[in-house]
Structure 1
Amino acid sequence: MGKVYLVGAGLGGREGLTVRALQVLRQAEAVWIDELVDDRLLAELPGQAQLWRRSGESSVQEGVLWLIQRCREGQQVVHLKSGDPLIFGRTREEVEALVKAGCPFEILPGLSSALAGPLWAGIPLTDKYLSRAFAVLTAHQLETLPWPGLAQLDTLVILMGSRQRDQIAAKLMEAGCPAERPVALIRSAGQAEQTVWVGCLAEWAAAENRSCEQTQSGPGVLVIGEVVKLRQDFLSGIPRLPEQAPLAGKTVLVTRSEGQAETFRELLQAQGARVLEMPTLVIQPPASWDRLDQAIQQLEQFDWLLLTSANAVTHFFARLHHHKQDSRALHALRVAVVGSKTAAILAHYGIHPNLVPPEFVADALLEVWPEPVMGQRVLFPRVESGGRDVLVQGLRQRGAQVLEVAAYQSACPKQPDPQVIAALKAHQVDLLSFASSKTVQHFAQLIRQAGLDPEVWDPPVQIAAIGPKTAETCRAELGRVDIEAAEYTLEGLVEAMIQQAQPLQTTGTVG
């Protein structure tokens, strides 16, 4: 038996969570996410956590059964609920079902929108002179509320009431509230797109007045009371609204080899993305070290050392150290690399390359390779299976002697990650990212092995490639490519994803 956590998501992203809630979320194995939860929180989930979101056809009962089933499977299960679970969170039914099923559970508090929403708008709910008490209510079943009593209170906070604005205003004025009573409508409280409309009950009730309507969808928080007038006094002390994370709500599948995905994952998470990892490469020693060993013993015979990947750098130097040598053995060689990442790895060994092409593809080296090429001897440690031969052929055609030796080999994993396969089946992946042609080829192989159809990457799923060669393989293996990096680096790939996502984003300010 696992355990179920009913967790308050508060408002906004990570800043709205308690420390305990963030800890539980980062250890979750299965997560039910409410509709109103900020998508930025997806970035805090473990990459392989199973997700469930209610569709229009599913019911709360189905969600509770999902929680119970995952708990009985021994998983740590989270129901991430907007605001606070015990403030209009419909938690009673869940608790009763969990108790009946014998599932251990824990309830973690969150910042309710009823309290944090007005704060983000600069509105205090209590004041020594203007508000000695406040009430929190929802706009559901307006006819059952005690309007004469509510009209006597200094401040009202009404959740999910923006659509019933004219009925609320009418009932309050009928019960004795003055028409000039201040009103504020706060939407997307605490988020980058927050907007605030301020007026009075009479304006709120006027059927012809639509100035308070906002373009973004979703419920708002209403504050009715004289404390709304204090807003300008408090605004300067309100925390700056968070930057809008361009990839918030996006789930990105990373297909890099195990152990090499960390940097890419961190880049994506910094932009708000949730990251799933399914390594499609297994980096291994070559079938034989003989040719590389022989080349290392004869380094003085070469003019250039050519390194076109981080794997080539690390495996070449590992073998160099195996022979009790270090970077000093390269003192007579010039070094050419492809890409800033490869150059950065090389710098760890105290070597700065003599040649780096402006474009981070191997073929670009041909355009900048210094003359004379004729007679130059080039050592090229590379992946055992080889790759594009344009660079090697080009150097040889110009008279260079190129010795290709296997420094490592990249194999396809024996089987795909079952949790990633489940996420693909459930259409929970938004972006497929590929940093090499091999990752594309092996991904397609693993998908076929899992018995999935190509429809798992049909639009709206997008396919992102780090450069033109990888993009070409995407078209051959997957039928298309949607995003191609202008700069052929991981940073460039993330930037290309952001540029693609930007038209979908909207910008809002505090009104």
Structure 2
Amino acid sequence: MKPIILVGAGPGAPEHLTFAAREALQRADVVIYDTLIDPRILALLPPQVETRSVQGLSQDEINYLLLQHYNNGQRVVRLKSGDPFIFGKATQELPALDTANCMYHVIPGISTITGAATLAGIPLTDRDWGRTIGVFTAHAPENLDWSALARMDTLVGLMGVGHLAHIQTKLLQNGRSPETPVALVHRAGQVGQSVWRGTLAQLTTQAAQAPSVLIVGAGANYHAQSRLPLQGKNILITRAVGSGSELEELLREQGASVVSMPTLVVQPPPDWAPLDQAIGNLQEFNWLILTSGNAVDYFLDRLWYHQRDGRALAHLKIAVVGEKTAWHLQRWGLKADLIPSEFVADQLLAEFPQDCQDLRVLFPRVATGGRDVLVQGLQQRGAQVSEVAAYETTCPQEIPKFILDYLRQGYIDVLTFTSSKTVAHCYQLLEQVAPGQWQDWLKSSRLAVIGPQTARTCERYFQRVDMVAKEYTLAGLVQAVIDYWNP
């Protein structure tokens, strides 16, 4: 039998998962998760993994669910927010597993207690003012020893937003000053995190929302978050299914919280025959033009399919648009002969040899929707251009529900677009689910694009563009966002 694994998910975002937690999730057959789990963590799961929420289930029903999947021989992950052993109800589930003689293992996580404080920039300890910490869960505040809690330098309370008046009264009655600093950290580590700071006397003036962590003590006066230019910004990146990690990493390095929204499905072309014929006649061509990483990967993968490799391209000169495309080429052991100084098709045309008479150019590209400026320009100079479909891109069927919730609630500060198709498909998806409404959702959001052509498309569909990269690369796009928020 495979053991049941209790996994601590940490305070929120996927980057707060431990390596052990990520490995367990990737190997799982079924994940049974708490309602407070960040949906971006569930989005990391392989598509074959079954997911079950425990929302609305009693503890007995949760125990039964765990045992049911365990007895079916499945690898079960019980995913809990924070750490399983800190108010995670693990002590109510493990006895049931012991009684059933189940194998199990526990993977710790970053506790919400410390995680929320750190993410809000609030130190819980200090050698001068913070030598003791009291932690409590306030779902039954009448049962707590408020005299002991009030003597702690720092207090951290969970599940207390419905009892703020009771907490305030008990602390004041037991000697805490009305001027004691307090903070409420809402949605710690998740998209939409917010922090309210005030005093104990002001605590009940707030319409606090769950989930929030209450912090009482001198540390609540501090705001010691990382000094990164995009700290606190929630950025949605539109991308192809299965891609986007590089842009995510670049944005996170600058402090942003990132949401990844698939707007492209990349798949094989409708018909392989034209590309196969071109590969069979490679000796007839002088140049090979590749304008995207997808074109590189699909073309060269098909070349290998025909049991040929880079040696079959030795007589060709290769032109690419941009460093990212050149990087994809290098992964296959090939080097571009021409990379334009600006990473757009127009500039590639400008820097391509002017005398194109008798040149035969092979151009593997997307099957539909690509620009024709490069082909038309080369043909006007006398080149013979063979366009062949190497791949196709289509629009996903839907936007994940949690992303719609982020947009609807106004959590997203910036939407980024790296191609015209991501713009068009994003518009199509929004029109599909919320015609006449989504425009209001984006009123407080900014739109950032990777280059002038994408900007023109964005203007057409969204009637505005707020940021355009000066250098048409992912790094340039990130810099444009930084420059906008930090002029």
- TM-score, structure 2 normalization: 0.61
Counterpart for residue 378 of structure 2: 395
For residues 199-248 of structure 1, the C-alpha deviation after alignment (integer angstroms, 9 at most, x for no partner) is xxxx74xx4x689989999332224xxxx69x99xx9xxx9858697698
Shift of 1:108: 4.3
Q: Which structure would you say has the larger Rg?
A: 1
In the other structure, the counterpart of 2:272 is 286
Alignment of 1:198-209 (within 5 A): 204=200, 207=201
Per-residue deviation at 1:306?
3.6
Distance across 2 between alignment mates of 1:23 and 1:306? 40
Structure having greater relative contact order (Cα 8 Å, sep ≥ 6): 1
Alignment length (residue pairs) = 448
1:377 matched to 2:359: yes
Measured in 2, the distance between the counterparts of 1:70 and 1:456 equals 41
Q: In structure 1, what is the equivalent of residue 322 of structure 2?
A: 339
Question: 1:410 maps to which residue?
Answer: 391
- Which SS does the other structure have where 1:392 is aligned? helix
Counterpart in the other structure of 1:508: none
Aligned equivalent of 1:222, options 190, 204, 216: 216
Structure 1 residues 210, 3: closer, same or farther in 2, change over 3 A? same
1:353 maps to a residue whose letter is D
The one-letter code sitting in structure 2 at the alignment partner of 1:273 is: V
- CA, structure 1 residues 90+268, in 2 after alignment: closer, same or farther (shift >3 Å)? same
Against the structure 1 CA distance between its residues 66 and 427, is the aligned structure 2 distance closer, same or farther, given a 3 Å change threshold? farther
**Structure 1 unaligned runs (5+)?**
504-511
Report SS of the residue matched to 1:388. Answer: coil
In structure 2, what is the Cα distance between the partners aligned to 1:290 and 1:196? 65
Residue of structure 1 aligned with 2:169, choices 167, 170, 191 = 167
Q: 1:346: how far off?
A: 4.4
Shift of 1:293: 3.8
Cα distance change, pair 434–143 in 1 and its aligned pair in 2 (3 A)? closer
- Tell me what 2:292 maps to: 309
| Structure 2 residue runs without a partner (length 5+) | none
Q: CA RMSD in A?
A: 6.2
Aligned counterparts, 1:83-482, within 5 A: 84-90=83-89, 107-112=106-111, 121-124=122-125, 135-147=134-146, 157-160=155-158, 163-164=164-165, 166-173=168-175, 183=180, 185=182, 188=185, 204=200, 207=201, 218-223=212-217, 241=226, 254-256=239-241, 263=246, 272-273=257-258, 275=260, 280-283=265-268, 286-288=272-274, 289-294=276-281, 296-299=282-285, 302=286, 305-313=288-296, 315=299, 319=303, 322=308, 325=311, 328-330=314-316, 335-346=318-329, 349=333, 351-354=335-338, 356=340, 358=342, 360-369=343-352, 371=354, 373=355, 375=357, 377-383=359-365, 385=367, 387-397=370-380, 399-406=381-388, 409-411=390-392, 423=400, 427=404, 454-455=432-433, 459=438, 460=441
CA shift for structure 1 position 287: 0.3
**2-structure distance, mates of 1:98, 1:482:** 57
Quickly say closer, same or farther: Cα 1:137–1:297, change in 2 above 3 A.
Answer: closer
Looking at structure 2, the residues matched to 124 and 117 of structure 1 have their Cα atoms a distance apart, in angstroms, of: 14
Specify whether residues 191 and 441 from structure 1 end up closer, same or farther in structure 2 by C-alpha distance, changes over 3 A only: closer
Structure 1 residues 214 and 422: CA distance shift in structure 2, 3 A: closer
Cα deviations by residue, 1:165-209 (Å, 9 ceiling, x for unpaired): 641332203xxx7x69x95535549979898979xxxx74xx4x6
Contact 2:458 2:465 in 1 (8 A): no
Distance 2:39 2:135 in 1: 27
Deviation of the 1:14 alpha carbon: 6.8
- State percent identity of aligned pairs: 24
Partner of 2:81: 81
Partner SS state of residue 265, structure 2? coil
* Equivalent pair of 2:288/2:319 in contact (CA under 8 Å): yes
How far residue 455 of structure 1 moved from its aligned partner, in angstroms, is 0.8
Q: Are the structure 2 counterparts of residues 114 and 475 from structure 1 closer, same or farther at C-alpha, using a change threshold of 3 Å?
A: closer
Post-superposition Cα deviations, 1:356-412, rounded to whole Å, max 9, x if no partner, equal: 152x332444445554x4736241332384743332223333x42323153x53257
